Amino acid sequence: MAPPARALEGLVERAALGDRAAFRSLYQATSAKLYGVALRILRRADWAEEVLQECYVSVWRHAPDYRAERAAPMTWMTSIVRNRCLDWLRRPNPEPLEDGVLESLESGNPGPLALLEQGRDSAALARCLRGLEARQRQAIALAFFDGLSHAELARHLREPLGTVKTWVRRGLARLRSCLELQG
């Protein structure tokens, strides 16, 4: 479980000043959860590891730009990971097939066509998410990528529980409609 937002804010602030020990602590406190986010989106451990490394480089470089009043540290870093994962899936040149691909197909792992379809689905989802209102998008992202319950969302966003439930419900309805049009 990640430390409280206040502790993470302090680590980000110290990392923004070039404190490598603080950045190391930030990494240790958040990397497992962010790796999980990357793995859920990319569905490949090697890709998730590579993207996560790029994300922490981005966190290090952009730590001075972080503003606690705009988002909690975990939300900010999750957003970086999610966006980088979606960019990774949209990249124009897929990796060449490596040795062992045929064996992985026989083992029941998703094949190249399934992975391509997942990439298309992810791109459609990203387009539809961009079409949501910011509060709906944030609530849905926190619920699905961070696993927050409605009650946790309400506390995190400092909004009434009914309001947060409405944002999620309406946002999901809009996503469903948009994805049906995409498909």
58 and 139 part of one domain: no
123 and 179 part of one domain: yes
**Residue 138 burial (CB count, 10 A):** 19
Q: Would the pTM of this model clear 0.85, i.e. be above it?
A: no
54 and 140 part of one domain: no
**pLDDT given for residue 115 in this prediction:** 52
99 lies in a domain? no
**What are the tokens at 112?**
């190249």
Total number of domains constituting the chain: 2
**First and final C-alpha spacing in the chain:** 37
Q: Identity (one letter) of the amino acid at 153?
A: L
Average pLDDT on 12-40 reads 91
100 lies in a domain? no
Longest dimension (CA), the chain: 53
78 lies in a domain? yes
**pLDDT given for residue 118 in this prediction:** 59
Of the ranges 84-98, 109-123, 137-151, 153-167, the best mean pLDDT one:
153-167
> Cα–Cα distance between 40 and 20 in angstroms, integer?
29
How many residues appear in the chain? Answer: 183
13 and 83 part of one domain: yes
User: What tens digit of pLDDT does each residue of 119-137 get?
Assistant: 666 777 778 888 888 888 8
102 lies in a domain? no
Q: Which domain holds residue 147?
A: 113-183
83 and 4 part of one domain: yes
Q: Is 95 left (phi over 0), alpha (psi -120 to 50) or beta?
A: beta
Instruction: Give me the CATH number covering residue 126.
Output: 1.10.10.10
73 lies in a domain? yes
103 lies in a domain? no
Instruction: Give me the CATH number covering residue 75.
Output: 1.10.1740.10
119 and 55 part of one domain: no
82 and 136 part of one domain: no
Q: Are 171 and 132 in contact (CB under 8 A)?
A: yes
Confidence of residue 43 (pLDDT cuts 50, 70, 90): confident
126 and 86 part of one domain: no
| Helix, strand, coil share (%) of the chain residues, nearest 5 | 75, 0, 25
**What are the tokens at 164?**
């947060």
Nearest residue to 26 via CA among 1, 54, 7 = 7
138 and 84 part of one domain: no
> Cα–Cα distance between 63 and 56 in angstroms, integer?
10
Q: Are 141 and 82 in contact (CB under 8 A)?
A: yes
> Cα–Cα distance between 77 and 27 in angstroms, integer?
11
User: What tens digit of pLDDT does each residue of 45-81 get?
Assistant: 888 899 999 999 999 999 998 888 888 899 999 999 9
